[in-house]
Each structure stands twice: as C-alpha cells, then as structure tokens.
Structure 1
Amino acid sequence: MTMSDIAIEAVGLRRTYETRTGWLRPRRLAIEAVRGVSFQVGRGELFGLLGPNGAGKTTTIKMLNTLLLPTAGRASVLGHDVARDPMGVRRRIGYVFGGDKGLYERLSALDNLRYFAELYGVGPREQRTRIPEMLEAVGLRGRENERVEGYSRGMRQKLHIARGLLHRPEVLFLDEPTIGVDPVAARELRAMVAGLAADGITVILTTHYMAEADELCDRIAVISDGVIEAEGTPAQLKDRVRKLDVMEIEVRETVGGDRLDALRALPGVERLSVETAGMADVLRVHVRPSDEVPGAVLAALAGVRTGRIATREPTLEDAYVAIIGRAGEAAQVPA
C-alpha cells in the first residue's frame, strides 16, 4: 500500500491511564489500555476493529479521531498527524457512536442537524441542500420536524449517521452503530454503511456482532488486552480454523466440569465452549475432521439429555473466539 493509498496509519500506538486505588493507603497505578497497536487502512476501505469489552477498541478510535492523545507512538489520518495537527484531522472525519448520547432530545431532527452543521462550519447556503440530502439518505425525510425524544433507537442511530456525514467527511468512525437496534433497523443501517463505503468513504467499524463484521468489512483487526492479535480479510481469519469442524450439541441439563474436562481431553478436540440459549445450553466443540471424533464426543456425553446435534464449517465468530481464547491463554502463561 503506497502512502497515497493510505487513509489511516497507526504505528506503535500506546495509551496509559493513571488511576488511584485504596482508601487508607492510596496508591497510583498505571493501566495500559492500548499497548503498541499498529495497522493501516486504505482509502475507501471498510475496516473492522473487533475485540471484547475493555480490549482497547474505543481507546484506539478516540486516539485516531483526536479525542485522546497517545501516550506513545504516532498516528495519522489522511496525512495529518493526530497529535500535531488535530484540527486538520477533525475537518476530514466524522464520528458516530452507538447509544443515545450526542443528540438534543428536546429539539427536532432538523434543528439537531442545523445546530451540528453550524459546529462543523457548513454554511447556510450549503445547509439548505445538504440537510435534506442527509435526511433522505438515512430515511428520515418526513419525520424531521418531530422531537428526537420520540424517536426509536434505530431512528436515533440514523440521525447520528446523518450528523456525522453533514460536513462530507472522507473518513467515518462508526463505534458500535447497531447496538441495541431491532433487526429490521439494524439491516437498514448495515445497508447504509455498505453504501458509504461504496461511495468511497473510508470507514472504521467497531462491533460485537460477528455476522455484521463478516458481511461488511473488507479487512478486520482483532484486538485483545490492548494488542492486535490478528489481522486480515474475514476469509483469512476464518481460514485459521477452517481445518476444524464445529459440533453444536444442545444439552437439556447442566454438564459438570469433570465431563467437560473429559471432552477437552479427547483426541481430535481442539476447543470447547458452552453457551446458554434459552432453556438449554449449547456445547460448541471444535474438532479435527474425522469419522471417529464426533462419535467419541457423543459417547463422552452418554447419559446426558441432548437435543439438536449439528456439524458445520467454522464462521467468523468461531475464528474470533479462537483468537481471543488463544490470546487469553498466552496472557496466563508465566513469563
């Protein structure tokens, strides 16, 4: 990737927070939220940043959009250094975050957009065309005179996106834009995000929904404990576990730790997780393809009441869980 093709570059980014602990004998602690993150995002690329809560995703995003200064390392957006030229960065980016904050509920959607257009330096003449364009683009045309306090979660998220695009940014940061949104609204938002990338806008997306990342992202970086653990296209990440099959076994009773340990110890079993799904648990067993291994797994569950049993190819979620799991295991190994 040549310099002219790069929209975002992070090199060795670090962010340390100082905090105090204790009451009678307070001590200062330094917590490293981001520990040497490096990656590049091409112009017009839709790049996903995935990781568990507390992994450093939002801290990384806030350093890239100038809301936080890096403790060490450097980053640039469209050639503008985030620390030395924050205004140059801010003029070229938009930031959309999930949740209800960031809008004025007593104002209408139209008044919200007018207010933010003023903040972004969009002139009155351009506002007269730009605001209706944005309302049309996000599907809020005809509802713009209603107060935001009466909007649904999905409508608020659409208004967030319209607000973030008012000043025609070249780079858009989307921090969990579909969180808490109903399935229909989430599908509309995903289509909107895909359209932004198709129009040439560089998008960085954080999300906890693996299917969303798989559908939308050109490339993905997985961050855990402040470190990038894996990076590549969704297909490349899935290839990490492609040599395994996934057995999903619905169990109608609690499976004890001794039996789970016995399952993990079976030849051909690479990983095992348990997920609660309604009134039952689902055992998700990653196994090496073999005619014998599935039978050995089911034999180890003899006497346990089971329901649906299925075997499938790994998904991006399986790859993500494997990457995060390996990172956690490595962190527990004494230095």
Structure 2
Amino acid sequence: MALAIEARALRRTYRTRTGWLNPRRVEIDAVRGVDLDVRRGELFGLLGPNGAGKTTTIKLLNTLLIPTAGSARVCGFDVVTQTREVRRRIGYVFGGDRGLYDRLSALDNLRYFAELYGVPAAAQKRRIGELLELVGLTGRERDRVEGYSRGMRQRLHIARGLLHEPEVLFLDEPSIGVDPVAARELRSTVAGLAATGTTVLLTTHYMAEAEELCDRIAVIAGGEIQALGTADELKHYAQGRRVLEVEAFGVTDAQVQGIAALPGVRAAGVEVIGAGQVLTVASEAAVDVQSDVLRALDGVRLGRVTARQPTLEDAYVAIVNGVDRPSVAVAA
C-alpha cells in the first residue's frame, strides 16, 4: 500500500509563561504522540474540538512547525531533513480571508502565485484555466477578489493551492464561516479533487461534511488520535445508545444538568437554533428515558419529540467526551 503521509509518535510541545505577579514557565503538549497513515489518492478527514491539535498536526506535516519528537514523512520525504522536497509536493489551504490580494483579480492572483510556485510560463495559462474551471470561477476570473463572496474566496484558495499540481493537499477548515449554499459548492469542489488522484487531508468541524467527503476519518482530542476508521466504523462508538431530541423553548442549565443525572442517561446538551432550542439526550439502548426527560421539562414549552439512531456526530461526542485535556507541565 503506497502511503502519501506517515507519522510516528509525532509530538509538539510549546513553552510559554503564565501568571502576572508570579510568572511561571510551563510546557503545553499540543500534540502527544500522533501515529497516522494516509494512503495515496485518499480523502482523509481529521476531526477534533478546538485546541485538540488538528492545526498543529497539519503544520507539523507541511513543514511549518518542527516536531519536538517523533517523525513524519510526506510522499516519502522527511518533513525535517528534506523540507524542500516536501514543500514541492504539497499544497496548503486554510480557512479565512488571508492569503489573497483583494485589489487584484482572481486571474492576477493566480498568475502571481504561479510565478512564486515556479510554474513554467508556458504552462501557466493552461493550468490556471483548468483550475478556474475546477473551482467554478470561470467567467468571474477578471473580477477583483474584494468583490468575491466568502465561498468564492475559499474556492480561489483551493485553486491557488493546486497551481503547482501538488501530490498532497492540506485543507484546514476550508468551509469555516461559509454559508450553506457556498459550503455545498465547496464540498463539490473538494470531492472533485479525489478524482484527479490528489491526496487530500481535510480538517473540519462539520460532521456532515466529513461523512460526505472522507474515505476515512481520524478523531483527535487531547493531542492524540482517539479513533480512526470510516464514518460507519466510527459510529460503532455510539452503539448501545439511543438518542432523544426534544424541541423546546426555555430549557435552563439546571434542567439539563438534572436530565444528565437521570438513570440510564449518558449525555445531555442543548443547542440554540433560531428562537428555539434542541435538547439532545443520549441514553443506554436498554433504557427508555423519554418519560423521565419530559417530566424534568415540566413547565417548558415543548415542540417535536424524536427518537433516532446515533449519527457520526453522536459517536464523535462520545469519543471526545471521554478524553482528558492536553497535559501542562511546569518547567523547572
């Protein structure tokens, strides 16, 4: 099996100071021994909460950070000792507005970055045209980027990252802050990359995006890989549970805590959606908690009550909730 990315016991420790009156030097383990294999041509997802180590892991793999310990190879080249060879073979796209020149057109942006990436002049016109077609910006390439929507900017970011025909493309939360319509177009663009044979490592907070796009998914939390497999394989982490969703208006934190303490309940949480709330309760499969939950919500205006099978998001929550935070050591 040909591998595009190999990581063994990858670790990154940051040294910083904490406190004002009595400052102390501390060490924070952002990544704590990550082992990872990504196959060539695979669309691989990396999921995790904020501060879990996703972006740090990507920066270690694409040579922007040096590992404190462990090793990693991309396309067979070591990320520390063969940095130049790695960079020739990778592209990096991150979420947000940085990395483009607003007062230039998309075409001029791509011409500029093509020069930086060393794309031969004779091949630039063909390559830029192919990429504009791939990301759906043909016809808007002469417009200034300052007039682009967030979704269009992100698609232009992807085109920029593909200019030098990288073997591996790192996509770090590319759909963050993008509206649903633009996010759908962005997912279509990313899915099209796999057809070209490009290896893609994607980080995201959106479970539906990961489930739709990724061949395999790793969940990182506390700086370590906690689970790895296909979306269906990861759902096994939520097996033995049933999920109850209750539309409500006015659920208090005290009520949520009381529901979480009910016999058979594994987890409970509330998400605010518009003017209402959705209470999600995960319980043991053999225990029907619906009547107890509704009694605990006495006095709360309720809407639809739904029981369903666990999803990838439920499995993700189950995995992440069982993980300790990254360690912090006080330096001598």
Name the TM-score, length of structure 2 as normaliser: 0.93
Residues 146, 256 of structure 1: CA spacing in aligned structure 2 closer, same or farther, 3 A cutoff?
A: closer
1-side partners of 2:12 and 2:219: how far apart?
A: 18
* One of 201, 206, 215 as aligned partner of 1:218: 215
> What SS class does the counterpart of residue 240 from structure 1 fall into?
helix
Residues 261, 155 of structure 1: CA spacing in aligned structure 2 closer, same or farther, 3 A cutoff?
A: closer
Deviation for aligned residue 1:326: 1.2
Structure 2 residue identity aligned to 1:118: E
Aligned 1:36-51 pairs, distance under 5 A: 36-51=33-48
2-side partners of 1:274 and 1:314: how far apart?
A: 16
Q: Does 1:287 align with 2:287?
A: no
Residues 295, 23 of structure 1: CA spacing in aligned structure 2 closer, same or farther, 3 A cutoff?
A: closer
* One of 315, 322, 330 as aligned partner of 1:319: 315
Residues 144, 214 of structure 1: CA spacing in aligned structure 2 closer, same or farther, 3 A cutoff?
A: same
Aligned 1:65-76 pairs, distance under 5 A: 65-76=62-73
Deviation for aligned residue 1:210: 0.8
* Corresponding residue for residue 249 of structure 1: 246
Q: Does 1:90 align with 2:115?
A: no
Identity percentage over the alignment?
Answer: 65
- Gaps spanning 5+ residues in structure 2: where? 328-332
Contact 2:11 2:29 in 1 (8 A): yes
Deviation for aligned residue 1:207: 0.6
Aligned 1:78-157 pairs, distance under 5 A: 78-157=75-154
Deviation for aligned residue 1:262: 3.9
- Gaps spanning 5+ residues in structure 1: where? none
Q: Does 1:239 align with 2:240?
A: no
* One of 152, 162, 165 as aligned partner of 1:168: 165
1-side partners of 2:85 and 2:30: how far apart?
A: 26
Q: Does 1:307 align with 2:308?
A: no
Contact 2:264 2:287 in 1 (8 A): no
Q: Say which structure, 1 or 2, has more relative contact order (CA 8 Å, 6+ apart).
A: 2
Q: CA RMSD in A?
A: 1.8
* Corresponding residue for residue 182 of structure 2: 185
| Count of matched residue positions in the alignment of Structure 1 and Structure 2 | 327
Deviation for aligned residue 1:291: 7.4
Aligned 1:43-62 pairs, distance under 5 A: 43-62=40-59
1-side partners of 2:169 and 2:270: how far apart?
A: 36
